[in-house]
A and B are shown apart, each in its own frame.
Chain A
């Protein structure tokens, strides 16, 4: 069965420090993974997709099939990055399976 695991419920860093939000997945097929961000209980917004290999707001994520991971990274965290981050796995019929989410707090 497909599963997405975000092991850290809370993550705190200081402004300017590197940040890495962990995501591991379990899926028998070829995975397609996403990161979503939610600011202050607002709507979820797509941050990036692994297939596009893009960098949004300084964030990047690389799919590691060997480790079944899709960790989200940013070299220098900013206070405005404080939010809830969800990793999601695309499965059948367009369904996205979400992890439990990680609340990132960037301190000044």
Chain B
């Protein structure tokens, strides 16, 4: 167990639907990062939060949004889902936004859009 918890582990939903992925960072970590992993795109950075505030944005679609709550857990909301959104979504956390110690990753949520 890495200490980063992601739920659910698997999610199957239909096109056009909306889902919420949840991430609880490792105890003491203030930064949360979301990544999308697909076979053709590799590991793509989506968004980062630090202590409740958005810190950096990557290749995140407008249909996607995220937030970090006061208890530091984060949620990634995916709406108007398309078949191409099927992927593994990883959350990672780190102690600060300037750490060079790397991330601790969660086990991911496997999203399948049918």
Contact = CB atoms under 8 A, between A and B. Distances in A.
Contacts, number: 68
B42 A93 contact: no
Q: How large is the interface on A (under 10, 10 to 19, 20 to 34, 35 or more residues)?
A: 20 to 34
Q: How large is the interface on B (under 10, 10 to 19, 20 to 34, 35 or more residues)?
A: 20 to 34
B68 interface: no
Given A41-B88, A42-B107, A86-B43, A96 B102 contact: yes
A98 B90 CA distance: 13
Nearest to B96: A94
Interface stretch (A14-22, A44-52, A57-65, A69-77): A44-52
Interface string B7-50: 00000000000000000000000010101000000110100101
A94 B48 contact: yes
B98 A94 contact: yes
Contact of B43 (A42, A49, A93, A101): A101
Interface of B: 2, 4, 31, 33, 35, 42-43, 45, 48, 50, 55-56, 58, 88, 90, 92, 94, 96-108
Interface of A: 32, 34, 36, 41-46, 49, 51, 86, 88, 90, 92-101
A95 B45 contact: yes
Given A94-B98, A95-B56, A44 B48 contact: no
